């Protein structure tokens, strides 16, 4: 029988089943400071070890400052939480890239860049954007702290198998349209709950033509339509990205791995529970206008005139937008370029390429937070830091930063931030903050003029 | 985990759709190292003003409404995987959440913490909101064994689905982890057969 890639990988990781719930074996577990302390406490209470320390990797990212990382963290609770991660990893023998380490960074950025993330794996982390790793042809998804504890203790979790959905995007992308626009467009069509219960495979020529960085942006936001994860079958682009990375297989092991990885695709004729098709030429630069990522429009469209839905009205009232309004030319006060969605070197290059020789608007603050120490180092090596400095963009140290407002990087109440992150929920970037999600290029353009721009009119 | 079998309680209505976990518990309150105490900050930014005074018209600040059951709009618990959302609801005193749709990760987190997510149809949800509107002290009965949710004022009964394994866990207060640990031999046998690249 023809099978989907998802079903093949899922089935090859089932240890056993109980009443339709599978015991799923996990090949790689990433942990961070916010969702792990209670899980380690659970192990301590039971007096059991981490079952497979070499399949577990930690990093501090959510609750860290993005300046002065060489100094002790000043906020006491954040300091305690980050220190707790270090203590737990020491005590249980888990490898950790702690704050300031040359390989530290956002968990979903460092996994791929170190070559830890490899095709065919099952990957979990106590973070919903674990779906990012699906770009390598993995089953990767976010879990809660109880499941973090289960994975630490048994290298398995109990899960019901999700349904499968294939989203095919064919055709050629227009100028100024990036992976972020593709995924915001898809979510705007399928809604913030439209993928719940499904695991997505993205396919089609517009997807396979993308770089690994761009594919990660797409898979990253699968959760924003409720899907547990999203994956893309590995191909030459994937293999080229992995080859030579620190933890990639070498020599003979590489050849063996390739022999397996090249088989990882959905069979011709495999049946998905649901299929969606989009045409790449329909996609334009996107912005969100509301308080969930499904509330997105093309930059030249107007906010829809939805009637009699209380939640819709509440959302527009929070954003202080009106039905029928265009966001083009709308003033913004803050620009955030960062997060596990868009803080890879390719994102920073796109921004630098646009702002080279330009300067930010006077009344706008611009923060660029690289996804990892390695991204930061690479940006400096390429001289991007100089371009940012001359443009008045502040290049900070890595972390989740203003994506979720856990640390001091917040947007003040009532002010607008165009953000390359993944969620525009109420208060996500700070109490009362108004978030407009967009691509790095859209964010860079808004930084320069202080207003939301249509980048298609600004690039040649 | 505390077992859950039969609950008779009034309910708190929250007829808002797409309630995300950042609303249930904002990220700035995720710095704690234990599972306790999150209830104080449940729905923090809807419940309190910036100066920490209660927002008058928010339902948790309205004495008319109370109980162990939260009735919420469609797609409850979307967004972040933070289990702190389930801890906050439990710590506040909710044992059951009813909606017409739940986000996946939240649903799993709730079940792992002895909170029962009950999914009903949009029409059934609507009739519950109406019953509370008519009588804020209307009681509801959750019978996990029978998988039924009853509006006691009207005696309307709705049935709901739950997997037999999770049902057994809730009824007995079992964690998944106890079960997984008991399967360790099978897991190790699986590992021995697995080829890793």
Out of B45, B79, B181, closest to residue A154 by CB: B181
Whether residue B142 has pLDDT greater than 90 = yes
The residue-averaged pLDDT of A147-156 equals: 98
Percent of chain A scored above 90 by pLDDT? 98
A419 touches chain B (CB under 8 A): no
pLDDT given at position B191: 96
3-state secondary structure of A16: strand
Whether residue A392 has pLDDT greater than 90 = yes
Going by pLDDT thresholds of 50, 70 and 90, the confidence category of residue A20 is confident
- Of all residues in chain B, the one with the smallest CA distance to A42 is B177
Question: Which CATH number applies to A5-159: 3.10.28.10, 3.30.499.10, 3.40.50.720, 3.40.50.970?
Answer: 3.30.499.10
- Of all residues in chain B, the one with the smallest CA distance to A152 is B177
A16 touches chain B (CB under 8 A): yes
Boundaries of CATH 3.30.499.10 in chain A? 5-159, 306-457
112-171 in B: which are within 8 Å (CB) of A? 112-113, 163-166
A433 within 8 A of A413, measured Cβ to Cβ: yes
**Contact between chains at A78 and B31 (C-beta distance less than 8 A):** yes
pLDDT given at position A65: 97
Percent of chain A scored above 70 by pLDDT? 100
B193 touches chain A (CB under 8 A): no
Out of B28, B105, B195, closest to residue A128 by CB: B105
pLDDT given at position A402: 97
| Distance between A404 CA and the closest CA of chain B, angstroms | 6
How many Å apart are CA A337 and CA A347, to the nearest integer? 9
Boundaries of CATH 3.40.1060.10 in chain A? 163-282
Total CB pairs under 8 A between chain A and B = 197
pLDDT tens digits for range A182-193: 999 999 999 999
**Contact between chains at B180 and A153 (C-beta distance less than 8 A):** yes
Burial A18-55 (b: 16+ CB within 10 A, else e): eeebbbbbbbbbbbbbbbbbbbbbbbeeeebebbbeeb
Whether residue B1 has pLDDT greater than 90 = no
pLDDT given at position A169: 98
| Distance between B149 CA and the closest CA of chain A, angstroms | 23
A163-282: CATH class:
alpha beta
B178 touches chain A (CB under 8 A): no
pLDDT given at position B196: 74
pLDDT tens digits for range B70-103: 999 999 999 999 999 999 999 999 999 999 999 9
Instruction: Suggest the residue from A37, A154, A314 to mutate for an interface test with chain B (most B CBs closer than 10 A).
Output: A154
Out of A77, A405, A425, closest to residue B79 by CB: A425
Kindly indicate whether the ipTM for this predicted assembly is greater than 0.90, answering yes or no.
yes
Handedness of CA A119, A121, A125, A131 (dihedral sign): positive
* Model pTM score: 0.97
How many Å apart are CA A125 and CA A154, to the nearest integer? 14
pLDDT tens digits for range B105-141: 999 999 999 999 999 999 999 999 999 999 999 999 9
Instruction: Suggest the residue from B13, B24, B28, B122 to mutate for an interface test with chain A (most A CBs closer than 10 A).
Output: B28
pLDDT given at position A335: 98
- Residue A286: phi, psi to the nearest 5? -110, 150
pLDDT tens digits for range A360-386: 999 999 999 999 999 999 999 999 999
| Distance between A383 CA and the closest CA of chain B, angstroms | 34
| Distance between A33 CA and the closest CA of chain B, angstroms | 9
Instruction: Suggest the residue from A249, A425, A431 to mutate for an interface test with chain B (most B CBs closer than 10 A).
Output: A425
- Of all residues in chain B, the one with the smallest CA distance to A402 is B27
Whether residue A460 has pLDDT greater than 80 = no
Query: Helix, strand, coil % (nearest 5) of chain A?
Result: 35, 20, 45
The residue-averaged pLDDT of B3-26 equals: 97
**Contact between chains at B176 and A147 (C-beta distance less than 8 A):** yes
| Distance between A38 CA and the closest CA of chain B, angstroms | 6
How many Å apart are CA B48 and CA B45, to the nearest integer? 6
Of A302, A399, A304, which is closest to residue A343 (Cα–Cα)?
A399
pLDDT tens digits for range A80-128: 999 999 999 999 999 999 999 999 999 999 999 999 999 999 999 999 9
The whole-chain average pLDDT of chain A stands at 97
**Contact between chains at A19 and B74 (C-beta distance less than 8 A):** no
Residue A357's region, left for phi above 0, alpha for psi from -120 to 50, else beta, is left
Question: Which CATH number applies to A306-457: 3.30.499.10, 1.10.230.10, 3.40.1260.10, 3.40.50.300?
Answer: 3.30.499.10
**Contact between chains at B50 and A432 (C-beta distance less than 8 A):** yes
Of A428, A433, A405, which is closest to residue A320 (Cα–Cα)?
A433
* Beta bridge pairs of residue A28: A123
**Contact between chains at B176 and A256 (C-beta distance less than 8 A):** no
A36 touches chain B (CB under 8 A): no
pLDDT given at position A181: 98
Going by pLDDT thresholds of 50, 70 and 90, the confidence category of residue A308 is confident
Whether residue B197 has pLDDT greater than 80 = no
Going by pLDDT thresholds of 50, 70 and 90, the confidence category of residue A309 is confident
Out of B23, B104, B109, closest to residue A226 by CB: B104
pLDDT given at position A455: 98
Out of A25, A146, A311, closest to residue B109 by CB: A146
List Cα–Cα distances, B120 to A17, A356, B159, in angstroms.
Answer: 27, 55, 8
Nearest 5°: the CA angle B125, B130, B136 is 110
Going by pLDDT thresholds of 50, 70 and 90, the confidence category of residue B195 is confident
**Contact between chains at A404 and B79 (C-beta distance less than 8 A):** no
A162 touches chain B (CB under 8 A): yes
306-335 in A: which are within 8 Å (CB) of B? 309-311, 314
Instruction: Suggest the residue from A158, A261, A292 to mutate for an interface test with chain B (most B CBs closer than 10 A).
Output: A158
The helix (H) or strand (E) run that includes residue A242 is helix A236-242
**Contact between chains at B179 and A77 (C-beta distance less than 8 A):** no
């Amino acid at each position: 029988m023809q099978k989907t890639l998802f079903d093949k990988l899922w089935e090859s990781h089932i240890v056993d089943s109980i009443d339709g719930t599978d015991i799923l074996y996990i090949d790689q577990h990433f942990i961070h400071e916010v969702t792990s302390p209670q899980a380690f406490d659970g192990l301590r209470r039971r007096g059991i070890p981490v079952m497979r320390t070499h399949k577990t990797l930690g990093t501090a990212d959510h609750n860290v400052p993005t300046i002065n990382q060489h100094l002790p963290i000043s906020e006491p609770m954040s300091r305690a939480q980050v220190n707790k991660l270090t203590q737990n990893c020491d005590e249980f023998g888990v490898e950790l890239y702690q704050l300031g380490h040359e390989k530290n960074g956002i968990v979903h950025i460092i996994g791929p860049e170190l070559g830890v993330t490899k095709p065919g794996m099952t990957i979990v982390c106590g973070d919903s954007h674990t779906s990012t790793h699906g770009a390598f042809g993995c089953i990767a998804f976010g879990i809660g702290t109880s499941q973090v504890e289960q994975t630490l203790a048994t290298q398995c979790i109990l899960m019901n198998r999700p349904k499968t959905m294939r989203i095919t995007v064919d055709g050629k992308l227009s100028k100024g349209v990036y992976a972020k626009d593709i995924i915001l467009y898809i979510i705007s069509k399928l809604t913030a709950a439209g993928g719940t219960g499904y695991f997505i495979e993205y396919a089609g020529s517009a997807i396979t033509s993308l770089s690994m960085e761009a594919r990660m942006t797409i898979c990253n936001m699968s959760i924003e339509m409720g899907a547990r994860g999203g994956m893309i079958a590995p191909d030459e682009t994937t293999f080229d990205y992995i080859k030579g990375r620190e933890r990639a297989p070498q020599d003979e092991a590489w050849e063996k791995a390739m022999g397996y990885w090249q088989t990882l695709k959905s069979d011709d004729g495999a049946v998905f529970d649901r299929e969606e098709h989009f045409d790449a030429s329909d996609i334009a630069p996107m912005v969100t206008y509301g308080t969930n990522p499904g509330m997105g429009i093309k930059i030249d469209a107007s906010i829809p005139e939805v009637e009699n839905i209380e939640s819709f009205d509440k959302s527009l009232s929070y954003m202080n937008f009106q039905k029928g309004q265009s966001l083009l030319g709308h003033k913004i006060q803050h620009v955030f370029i960062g997060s596990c969605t868009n803080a890879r070197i390719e994102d920073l290059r796109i921004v630098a390429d646009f702002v080279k020789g330009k300067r930010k608007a006077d009344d706008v603050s611009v923060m660029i937070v690289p996804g990892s120490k390695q991204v930061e180092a690479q940006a400096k090596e390429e001289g991007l830091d100089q371009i940012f400095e001359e443009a008045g963009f502040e290049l900070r140290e890595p972390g989740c930063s203003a994506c979720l407002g856990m640390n001091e990087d917040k947007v003040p109440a009532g002010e607008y931030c165009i953000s390359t992150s993944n969620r525009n929920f109420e208060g996500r970037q700070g109490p009362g903050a108004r978030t407009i999600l967009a691509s790095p290029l859209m964010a860079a353009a808004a930084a320069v003029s202080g207003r939301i721009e249509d980048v298609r009119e600004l690039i040649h | 985990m505390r077992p859950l079998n039969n609950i008779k309680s009034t309910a708190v209505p929250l007829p808002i759709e797409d309630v995300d976990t950042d609303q249930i518990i904002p990220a700035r309150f995720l710095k704690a190292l234990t599972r306790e105490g999150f209830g104080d900050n449940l729905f923090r930014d809807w419940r309190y003003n910036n100066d920490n005074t209660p927002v008058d018209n928010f339902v948790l600040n309205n004495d008319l409404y109370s109980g162990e059951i939260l009735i919420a709009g469609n797609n409850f618990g979307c967004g972040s995987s933070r289990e702190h959302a389930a801890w906050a609801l439990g710590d506040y005193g909710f044992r059951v959440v009813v909606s017409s749709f739940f986000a996946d990760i939240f649903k799993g987190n709730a079940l792992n913490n002895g909170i029962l997510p009950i999914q009903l149809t949009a029409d059934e949800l609507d009739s519950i909101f109406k019953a509370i509107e008519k009588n804020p002290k209307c009681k509801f009965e959750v019978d996990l064994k029978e998988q039924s949710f009853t509006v006691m004022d009207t005696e309307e009964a709705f049935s709901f689905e739950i997997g037999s394994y999770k049902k057994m866990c809730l009824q007995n207060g079992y964690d998944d982890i106890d079960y997984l640990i008991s399967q360790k031999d099978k897991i190790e046998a699986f590992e021995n057969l697995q080829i890793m690249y």
